[in-house]
Copies of this chain bind each other. A is one copy, B any other.
């Protein structure tokens, strides 16, 4: 800990899979980033399911637990709140936390709709707190380096973006109707769950989205109703499924894009692509070079650039290592392997660094809101079967 830096006291709200993922990152912050980071104290975990709350706190290293998230938001000793709940709880918690003067890190998508997200932006702005949205994938060294290359002009003018997030766990029809399949709780389906990450990549790397033409489809239209509340973030069939419920969100979202800078783009997000496990992938073509990435090989960036001998040109498979952005603290050599844990670690590091030194967070709630707006436009476009503006105002 840097002398003089105040310990930051954190509360975590949510006890599912993402609670574990974030907790792993908290656990490692000190080893990777001390003494550059302030000390982070894991004060309390809130989770409505008491059993999950208790074991989560114990296993994930949180000193205390509660079943009521207000016990965190209302605790004057807590500096920052980390929200890993289902999507419908993001707004009420984040707004309450901001109003209570707490810095907020909220999982993605920021909210179920653009207007809901907008309220969160406004609350955070009014309160003057740091407000970050958890688009962790952009923190991977390969992605961060891609942005640097683009910023350096290595690709020239950007012409085309193709982005995907393909998974296959949705193919199992016996997978229960968790909140991820319910519009009321999740907002959208594949679009918000995984497509949102692609939109984040598109904005991070190419620029603002101007308009969209979207196609949403639901192939698996019914799923078993769990008798009781399903375990958040967990796709397994809970005991006691008795009957089928209706899936009212998309499981495939395919989109054409037009960016403000004139580039064209396309996005495909589906949880129904056999063999694709965590295939968050994109390719960007400029008029001078290209970049490509796939999270399933998260240490690699593929880069095509001119060479003084055109015969020597080819896509380069760059293995990220200590020289790449965000890579210095990970491993002393390239090729040791970094993944989801490391991307979340860097996200949290950036959050706490911003709190400590007052610098802006990125991605912030404004980013989170724009992504929600673009998703709203995609939904509307799919209904109206036409292009629509990606800007609400």
Bitwise, A304-327 to B at CB < 8 A (1) or not (0) is 110000111111111101011000
A270 to B: closest C-beta gap in Å: 6
Q: CB distance B305 to A312 under 8 Å?
A: yes
User: Across the interface, which residues of B come within 8 angstroms of A272, CB to CB?
Assistant: 159-160, 285, 287
B387 touches A304 (CB 8 A): no
A226 within 8 A of B: no
Question: Could you tell me if B296 and A274 are in contact, using CB atoms closer than 8 angstroms?
Answer: no
Give every chain B residue within 8 A of A169 (Cβ-Cβ).
333
Q: Cβ of A338 < 8 Å from any Cβ of B? A: yes
A317 CB contact (under 8 Å) in B31, B149, B254, B315: B315
Specify which of B274, B312, B338 is in contact with A339 (CB 8 Å cutoff): B338
| Complexed CA–CA distance, A27 and B311 (Å) | 29
Report chain B residues within 8 Å CB of A288.
274
Measured between alpha carbons, how far is A372 from B325 in the docked complex, in Å?
39
Say whether A24 contacts B28, CB under 8 Å.
yes
* Complex CA distance for A34 and B273, rounded to whole angstroms: 34
B-contact 0/1 string along A246-276, CB 8 Å cutoff: 0000001011101000101110101011111
What 0/1 pattern do residues 147 to 175 of A give for CB contact below 8 A with B?
Answer: 00100000100011010101101010000
- Across the interface, A314 reaches (CB within 8 A) one of B318, B340, B385, namely B318
Is the Cβ of B254 less than 8 Å from the Cβ of A264? Answer: yes
Question: B24 to A20, Cβ gap below 8 A?
Answer: no
Cβ B27 vs Cβ A31 within 8 A: yes
Contact indicator per residue, chain A 368-388, by CB within 8 Å of chain B (1) or not (0): 000000000000000001110
Whether B316 lies near A314 (C-beta < 8 A) is: yes
The answer to whether A252 touches B295, judged by C-beta atoms less than 8 angstroms apart, is no
Which residues from chain B contact A59 at a C-beta distance below 8 Å? Answer: 30-31, 34-35
Stretch from A6-14, A106-114, A212-220 that touches the partner: A212-220
Q: Is the CB of B213 within 8 A of A256?
A: yes
Contacts of A305 in B (CB 8 A): 312
Closest to A23 in B: B31
Contact with B along A11-54 (1 / 0, CB 8 A): 00000010010011001101110110000000000000000000
Q: Give CA–CA (A35, B340) in the complex, Å.
A: 23
User: Which 8 A-B pairs rank lowest in CB-CB distance, beginning with the nearest?
Assistant: A337-B339, A278-B335, A275-B304, A277-B335, A314-B316, A314-B318, A386-B386, A277-B334
A residues near B (Cβ < 8 Å) are 17, 20, 23-24, 27-28, 30-32, 34-35, 58-61, 145, 149, 155, 159-160, 162, 164, 166-167, 169, 171, 213, 215, 217, 219, 234-235, 252, 254-256, 258, 262, 264-266, 268, 270, 272-279, 283, 285-290, 295-305, 310-319, 321, 323-324, 331-342, 385-387
30 CB-based A-B contacts, threshold 8 Å: A20-B31, A23-B31, A24-B32, A28-B28, A31-B59, A31-B61, A155-B274, A213-B213, A219-B287, A254-B264, A254-B266, A256-B256, A272-B285, A273-B283, A274-B285, A274-B286, A274-B287, A275-B290, A277-B334, A278-B336, A279-B335, A295-B336, A295-B337, A296-B319, A296-B337, A311-B324, A312-B316, A314-B317, A339-B339, A386-B387
